[in-house]
Amino acid sequence: MKYKSIKNSFLKSKSITKLEIVVQSGVLELDLLTGGFKAGEITYIDGNSPLIYNIPNQLCVNTFRTFNSDTIYIDGGICADPYQIAKYARYMEIDQNDVLEHVHISRAFTIYQLSTFIEHMLEKEIQKYGPRALIIGRFPLMYLDIDGTERESQIILKNNLNKLVELTSLYNLITVLTNIDSRLYNNRTRATVQSMVNETIRMKYIEPCTYADLLNRKEGTTILDMACEQLRLEHFGLAI
């Protein structure tokens, strides 16, 4: 895995995002590495880093801040937290009520609820709200909690991913799937997800750093452990 300095990554990110619709994660080093999450693509974030908990909240705020647009947030593991979304909005000096009005959270408690929403309800929600971003938190978790067989779970998973690929392309969505702990699912599930998304970001925490690797591009960066949601001048374009 090749690691690049922040300065070099910044220069690269500017060329990547020049003609693309992107939204930032709110994690400086990650944004400099990736150039932001891109419209029309699915990004899967996997690992054990605590930073993964905050990325969906920050994406909701940054989507509104960048595009004045909505986010559909599907909660697959009781991870969506409006209070944390509002907290990040205040850090970014944005009206928290304006942000929350543009975030539409749907919770699923079983694999069948999640699958039904993705297959039969999600497109109607997209047409209703016209979101720029689609987030599914702890996406693979539900596919382990099933009364049927592993084969059934894999069939449902592939069908749901195919639908997400279709909708992401059709509506030019910035789609982000997250999972906070890769030990919660097997290698077959991991391989299925990674084979159907545009990029997988593996975020591994080893104190005091998180190592973020882009598995497809085979590039990575190191993120120093800082205070939760601590912002830097670079977030406001004041320094490089």
Q: CATH class for domain 2-228?
A: alpha beta
Nearest by Cα to 196 from 160, 232, 220, 170: 160
Per-residue pLDDT of the chain (240 residues; tens, 9 = 90+): 555 444 444 444 444 434 589 999 999 999 999 999 999 999 999 999 999 999 999 999 999 999 999 999 999 878 899 999 999 999 999 999 999 999 999 999 888 999 999 999 999 999 999 999 999 998 888 887 666 678 888 999 999 999 999 999 999 999 999 998 765 667 788 889 999 999 999 999 998 999 999 999 999 999 987 644 445 544 444 444
Question: Nearest 5°: phi and psi at 231?
Answer: -95, 155
Instruction: Please enumerate in sequence order all residues whose Cβ is within 8 A of that of 227, keeping only pairs 6 or more positions apart, or say none.
Output: none
Quote the pTM value. 0.85
Nearest by Cα to 223 from 1, 6, 2: 6
